[in-house]
Structure 1
Amino acid sequence: MSKRTVLVLLALAAAAALCAAQDTSLALEKIVVTATRIAGTILASPDHITVVSGDELAGALSAAEALEGAAGVSVSENGTAGSVQSLSIRGSTAAQVLVLVDGIRLNDGRQGGADLSVLPVGNIERIEIVRGGSSALYGADAMGGVVNIITKDKAEDRFRLSLINGSYLPRDAVKVAEALPSAIEETVSASAMDLLDTQKLSAALSTELGQVDLVASGSFTRAANGFAWYDSQYVGDYRRRVNADLLGGDLTASLGLPLGEGRLRLRGQVSYQEIGAPGIISTNVDPDYGALFSTDAGQQQTLFQAALSYSTPRFLSQALTLDSKLFYKYSRLSYQNPDPLGALEVAVDDSHQLHTLGLEASQAQSALDFLRLVYGGNFLVENVFSTAIGEKSRISGGLFLESPFYLSSWLTLTPMLRYDLSSDFPGSLTYKLAAVASLSETISLKASAARSYRAPTLNDLFWPNDGFVAGNPDLRPESGYNAELGITALAEGLQLNFFAFVRYVQDGIQWAYTTIYQPVNIGEALYPGFEADLELTILKGLRISAGYTFLYSFVLNSSGTDYKLADEIRAGYAPIHSLDAGLVLEIGRTRAGIKAQYVGQRYSGVEGEFGTTSLDPYLVLNAQYRRAFSERWSITLEGRNLLNQVYQSLDGYPMPLLSFWVGAELTL
């Protein structure tokens, strides 16, 4: 994207801001809670924040689909429905982004990252995205940012039923199968069943039972994920994806009721999925380890979680609040590959169970007009039972203090401080200093600097020594430092953000060969860049949106090798240019929209290192049409990847070509 184009967009946005500033009654009242742990407007929050509403999730199979258009945020996918979906913010790894559900962490202590594919979308009220390090408030893993998924709590007295069908264009293709010690190719004919590849049935109930609000939702998904794509790298023909099927369902329920001056809420979720595990698309077969793809490997995922929370704006006094959460989570991942792997002749049958019990509490004290105290902490116990690392436990906790100083009617300075302890790695002190200057009723200038950290995973610490690989119990947490300066304009029909930032990562955890292949603290990288996003209502019912991210990366140390800035060694999955644009038109009960996403060239790992490949840039165009025939029922038509692009979000995992989706929804 040229500098001239960027300047034109910014000039257009600035002109719109001047016009819109005359009427400030609309979006200024949008309330967010994630950036400071206390309710406030987007203008008053000290970070670059994006809010995704529940309406934007209509027709989505997962929460990740609604996050792809946010500036500075990228979604990595292992393919189709049911595959792992993870987030990156400003070039971070997935394990450096903390994902919360109603303020409770989703990140897995065994593996580190959070998989958004396990989250049902039917009961999501909104999603708040906070960019930049936030460990000073939330502890481990918030180096790149925080994504807080807030679910529905209040009853709306309705029942909703929806059905979605996804179709791929049938075509003749090649199927690659295992025939150890090699691979074989087989031609398969086009199948009309590709038009019925994916179905998702969802139901949601929202009703009042006396003073109790009951909000429940459930879904069932079946997908063959048998699309064909042009594989120019290995077969030189259209190739069918095999063993990527999905069968699963979920159920979520929430009970909320008033208690005193506050609100008590009990929420639970259970889900189960059976998923094929096709592996990467390489047809190469290693004589020792066998094929990297599989036609019969599979996995099963089970998730159960329950949370009891209580919040009140007045606790014991008018100047004191309380927000508390007690939660339990159980997850199980089982993986089987019945084929012996090459000469080692080792079939795989692994199981990993994780039990998590946690308590979080925070309070805000506002006795003084110019000063507010926010403090709290958390306690977390994680127990792993794994066929790979055995039985392991982690006990961790932390305390934080935040104190906004209202220095004047237009200037707020907020220092934040937190200390965390863990049973299996050294403690970490994190901090953040943020400032917000209100230049007018519609424009805020924001600046912040912070230190954050990521905890080593239990796999990193305790992977057993098998003579080839081993964990490292002496690992230190990764450290991250970031600073940003930006401006937010918010008025009737307009939201504009422009932020410049820099991230520095130290002691990055990388698997490297020492006396054995194991994780060590050797990674170091610098990420400067800027991001801009715009939402603008031009005419009644006509809305445009655009986001652009410029991200440069400099690897300073990797796998024991030092680099200089002048070497310009790029980090993995950090495209220099990313652009999103959308147009939505609403007339009466009809809504039509089109959305484009461009992702520039990037590397699968550190540039120039063994095994790193270059991934081509891609442009994906999607369109959606929604028609409500009455207040009770509506239909949705959607075309995805209209340009029929062959691309990969993650190296070795192809994304579908052109597909069509039809949905119907009934509300009673």
Structure 2
Amino acid sequence: MRRSLLALLLSIALPASLAAQRPGEVAGRVAEAGTDAPLEMAAVELPELGIRVWTDGAGRFAIRGVEEGAHRVRVSRAGYAGWSTQVRVRNGEAAWLSIPLARDVLVLDTVSAVTTVPDPQRDGTVVTRAAIEASGARTAADVVARAPGVTVRESGPTGSRTVSIRGSGADAVLVLVDGAPLNDPVSGEADLSAVPASAIERVTVLPGAHSARYGARAGAGVVLIETRAGEVPPAAEVSGGTLGERAARGEWGAPLGRAAIQAGAHTRAVDGRFAYERDPSDPTRVHRTNADEFEAGAFAALAGHLAGGELRVRGGWETLERGLPGTGHTPSPDARQWMERGRASLAWRRGPASALVSGAVQRARYADPAPPFGLAYDDTTRVRMVNARAESSTGFRRGRLGLGVDALAQHVEAALSEQAPRTQYGGGVFAHASDEARVLRRTFALSAEARVDRDGVSGNWYASRALTVRMDGPVRVQLANRSAYSPPSLGDQFFRGGVGIVPNPGLRPERIPNEWEIGASTAATLGSVSLSAYATAYDSDVRGMIVWMRRFNDRWSPGNVDAHRRGLDLRADAVLPGNGLRVNASYSLARITYDRPGRDDDGVQVVYRPRHSGWAGAEWGAGAWRAEARARYTGARNPTPTEANVIPGFWATQLRVARDWRMGVWALSTALDVDRALDEKGHLIAGYPEPGRRARLDVRIQRTQLPSRNRPR
């Protein structure tokens, strides 16, 4: 009898104890009050835990790994009133919320200012998976090109694509893929053309000096790329277009117990041949050869639970081969590039505590048996890197205090001089704190960040800081002061000298000792039109900007020069819900001028940094039809450190028309993309011709619903 009673008690207690070992989650759906239309990109926060997620295209969200207890949930979205509630979370269970957001405005004559506005200064420009698919982006470069203040540098339609933010060099922008640096340790630059858009879940662009949080190379900005993880409906897509382009990709996801898995693959090939005029002074028509490209890749992901927290495991592999055709006036018919890259990451989060371990291996080969000048070369670079990061925070009153550490180890084998270090160990320790206060019926938020880094090449230590004050209200205002640094690359310091060029082992890192930034954002409604806008102005000095220059004995070498960096980023959006029309525009002024000895600021723009840039676009949707038109402007560029031979600015237009066809639980989408629709042939860098108008047709089929057992109850 006693044994039977004991067995009965164990049968009752055991399930409860097992459930108590698993944290709970908060999930739900955000929709517009009155219409029940799903709201994408609504921010859902657990403020006491410092956690924020964004709703997807169906308005759904999920916050996993939440400890048991009462938690405050706060929801906000531009154009809608804020919403908050208290929710009770139990271990092993999901708390489901159905959240209606109403348009709530404060009437000011004929203009209505909404009470909740986006904050691009704090959150940066965020591009979700739904927006990536709607834009027809092919690579990460296409995604980030739409962010204000961003310039994508490319050397032809199949060449590498690097990013410049606020007039910086590409080696002063840190690009992280699932926490692992994409920046090449030899060049310091990140080639975004090597990251397929099909593998991306979300991209965040943070302009400005952000070394206090992210460390080295974040001197002008950070690009955070999060690849896909978790269950998705199966889908397949094929594409074909001009320049002999053809592509195919597929993806699939499924539940696996309490976890979800996903996998996908893609392949793309471009012939790349086109005719162009040899030189502005020579109208002879020649053909661009050795401009072909082939790429392929695959990715896999697992999302589940481990040790009471949320676990995400991601992995991917890409291979690339392309010709390096050289400039138009100095073609290189035999130069080639081969690249293979594998990446993997493991991320874990439980409440405010998180940990990340990521790694990457890369092999890149460059060869040309008969270059147009110099000696033949056949160089291979091999890189292996491991990155680890851990962070945790705790709340006090209305604020939070957090600490973190990260470490990077990498081994590089490349065609460098004997003085080049092969293995580097670097990393940093950082802290951040934030608090809020009510003053004069306004909420003020103060945040501070500090970090100390060890450079893996020189062994030197560098300190960075950031202090931000934000005032919330109908107009949100933010003032920030930051510092940052970007170290020289191994290539600039230790490349093997050639004819007329020499390395510079004595290069110093670029330093931004004092960057001031002020920004304001707001949203309003005028009748049925929703309006939003923001403006950011910045001013800083760059000490020791690394640029190539003519030096002793008429040789070229990288060197340090001082420069001034100041500018303005503007963006405005208007949505006409009744007409399905959205218009937006962006303008950026980036004044990056030399501060040379004895001449102070001489007003000459640093080479290939356009002072003026921007875009304007319109999107329209009605029923199954969608259309978009966009025009981008790239301002004049200096090809030399003087005002001579300035390259004039140019416009480039893009058109996209798409239609959805429903077939039960499946949807077929067709889309026609036309780039440089008016046959524009302007190019950012002199000597790299553009083919003009290009077109591509995409056909995609995707399951619109997951099996009923996978839907939240």
Partner SS state of residue 474, structure 1: coil
Q: Structure 1 residue 507 and structure 2 residue 535: aligned?
A: no
**1:162 aligned residue:** 237
- Matched residue of 2:301: which SS? strand
1:548 equivalenced with 2:587 (yes/no): yes
Gaps of 5+ in 1: 1-24, 168-193, 284-292, 314-320
Equivalent residue, structure 2, for 1:39: 52
Take 1:625 and 1:414, find their aligned partners in 2: how far apart are those partners? 44
Number of equivalenced pairs: 584
Structure 1 position 53 matched with structure 2 position 53: no
CA contact (8 A) 1:478 1:521 kept: no
Shift of 1:449: 1.0
Partner in structure 2 of residue 221 of structure 1: 268
Contiguous gaps of at least 5 residues in structure 2: 1-37, 54-75, 77-116, 704-713
- Work out which of the residue numbers 410, 432, 445 in structure 2 matches 1:382: 410
**Equivalent residue number for residue 342 of structure 2:** 304
Q: Within 1, Cα distance between the matches of 2:254 and 2:348? A: 20
Cα root mean square deviation, aligned: 2.5
- 1:187 corresponds in structure 2 to none
CA contact under 8 A between 2:178 and 2:345: conserved in structure 1?
Answer: no
**Deviation larger for 393-402 or 456-465:** 456-465
Matches within 5 A, 1:209-248: 209-233=256-280, 235-248=282-295
Q: Which residue of 2 aligns with 1:190?
A: none
Q: Residue 4 of structure 2 corresponds to which residue in structure 1? A: none
1:162 positional shift:
0.5
Matched AA of 1:240? H
Residues 467 and 516, structure 1, Cα contact 8 Å, conserved in 2: no
> What per-residue deviation string (whole Å, max 9, x for no partner) do you get for residues 560-614 of structure 1?
x54333x311112222221211111111111011111111111134235xxx752
1 CA distance for matches of 2:309 and 2:344?
20
**1:172-571 matched pairs, under 5 angstroms:** 194=243, 197-233=244-280, 235-283=282-330, 293-313=331-351, 321-339=352-370, 346-366=375-395, 368-389=396-417, 392-408=422-438, 410-425=443-458, 426-440=460-474, 443-464=475-496, 469-480=501-512, 481-490=514-523, 493-512=530-549, 513-514=551-552, 522-540=560-578, 541-557=580-596, 562-565=598-601, 567-571=602-606
Separation in 2 of the partners of 1:32 and 1:95?
Answer: 34
Do the aligned residues in 2 keep the contact of 1:484 with 1:500 (CA within 8 Å)?
Answer: yes
Does residue 84 of structure 1 match 2:160? yes
| Superposed displacement of residue 79, structure 1 | 1.1
TM-score by length of 2: 0.77
Give the 3-state SS of the residue equivalent to 1:649 in structure 2: coil
AA in 1 matched with 2:675: R
* Cα separation, 1, equivalents of 2:599 and 2:175: 32
Aligned residue type for 1:402: H
The Cα shift of 1:295 comes to 0.8
* 1:234/1:243 CA distance change after superposition, 3 Å: farther
CA contact (8 A) 1:76 1:649 kept: yes
Contact 2:262 / 2:301 at 8 angstroms: preserved in 1? Answer: yes
Contact 2:279 2:328 in 1 (8 A): no
Q: From the superposition, tell whether residues 553 and 469 of structure 1 become closer, same or farther in structure 2 (CA, over 3 Å).
A: closer
Which one of the candidate residues 160, 166, 171 is aligned to 1:95?
171
**Which residue does the alignment assign to 1:135?**
211
- In the TM superposition, residue 234 of structure 1 has moved relative to its aligned partner by 5.5
Superposed displacement of residue 112, structure 1: 0.5
- Corresponding residue number in structure 2 for 1:70: 147
Matches within 5 A, 1:650-661: 650-661=685-696
Instruction: Give the 3-state SS of the residue equivalent to 2:604 in structure 1.
Output: coil
The structure with the largest alpha-carbon Rg is 2
State the secondary structure of the residue aligned to 1:403. Answer: strand
CA 1:339–1:77 in structure 2 vs 1: closer, same or farther (change >3 Å)? same
Offset of residue 78 of structure 1: 1.2
Other-structure match for 2:697: 662
Residue 227 of structure 1 and its aligned partner are, at CA, apart by 2.4
1:245 to partner: Cα distance: 0.3
Deviations 1:297-332 (A, max 9, x none): 11101101111111111xxxxxxx221111111111
Deviations 1:99-130 (A, max 9, x none): 12233321122210111011021132221111
Q: Is the contact made by 1:546 and 1:582 (CA closer than 8 Å) also made in structure 2?
A: yes
Larger displacement relative to structure 2 (242-251 or 407-416): 407-416
- Could you say what secondary structure the match of 1:56 adopts? helix
Q: Write the deviation string for residues 495-529 of structure 1: whole angstroms up to 9, x where unpaired.
A: 32111111321012234424795756531111222
- Structure 1 residues 579, 340: CA separation in 2 closer, same or farther (over 3 Å shift)? closer
SS in 2 for 1:471: coil
The verdict on how the C-alpha distance between 1:439 and 1:226 changes in structure 2, with shifts beyond 3 A counting, is same
The answer to which of 249-258 and 230-239 deviates more is: 230-239
The Cα of 1:471 is off from its aligned counterpart by 3.3
Q: How far apart are the structure 2 equivalents of 1:494 and 1:262? A: 39
Residue 28 and residue 584 in structure 1: after superposition, are their counterparts in 2 closer, same or farther (change >3 A)? closer
**What is aligned with 1:147?**
223
What do residues 40-97 of structure 1 show as CA deviations (whole Å, max 9, x unaligned)?
A: 878467537211222332322212113223221111111113x211111111111111
Maintained 8 Å contact 1:46/1:448: no
C-alpha change, 1:28 and 1:410, in structure 2 (3 Å) is farther
Distance 1:555-1:200 versus aligned 2 partners, 3 A rule: same
Aligned partners of 1:340, 1:93: CA distance in 2, in Å?
27
Taking the aligned partners of 2:554 and 2:347, their CA distance within structure 1 comes to 46
Q: What are the superposed Cα offsets for residues 481-508 of structure 1, whole Å, 9 maximum, x if unpaired?
A: 3211111124684432111111321012
Do 1:389 and 1:459's aligned partners in 2 also have CA atoms closer than 8 Å?
A: no
With over 3 angstroms needed to count, the CA separation of the structure-2 counterparts of 1:39 and 1:523, relative to structure 1, is farther
SS at 1:506's partner residue? strand
- Structure scoring higher RCO (CA < 8 A, sep ≥ 6) equals 1
Distance 1:26 1:607, change over 3 A: farther
Whether the aligned pair in 2 keeps the contact of 1:274 and 1:300 (CA below 8 Å) is yes
Whether the 8 Å CA contact 2:484–2:511 is kept in 1: the answer is yes
The TM-score, its normalising length taken from structure 1, stands at 0.82
Match in the other structure for 2:620: 585
How many angstroms does 1:153 deviate by?
2.1
Offset, 1:273: 1.0
- The one-letter amino acid of 1:665's match is R
Q: Check whether the contact 1:242–1:278 (CA below 8 A) recurs between aligned residues.
A: yes
Distance in structure 1 (CA, Å) of the matches to 2:562 and 2:632: 30
Q: Secondary structure at the match of 1:229?
A: strand
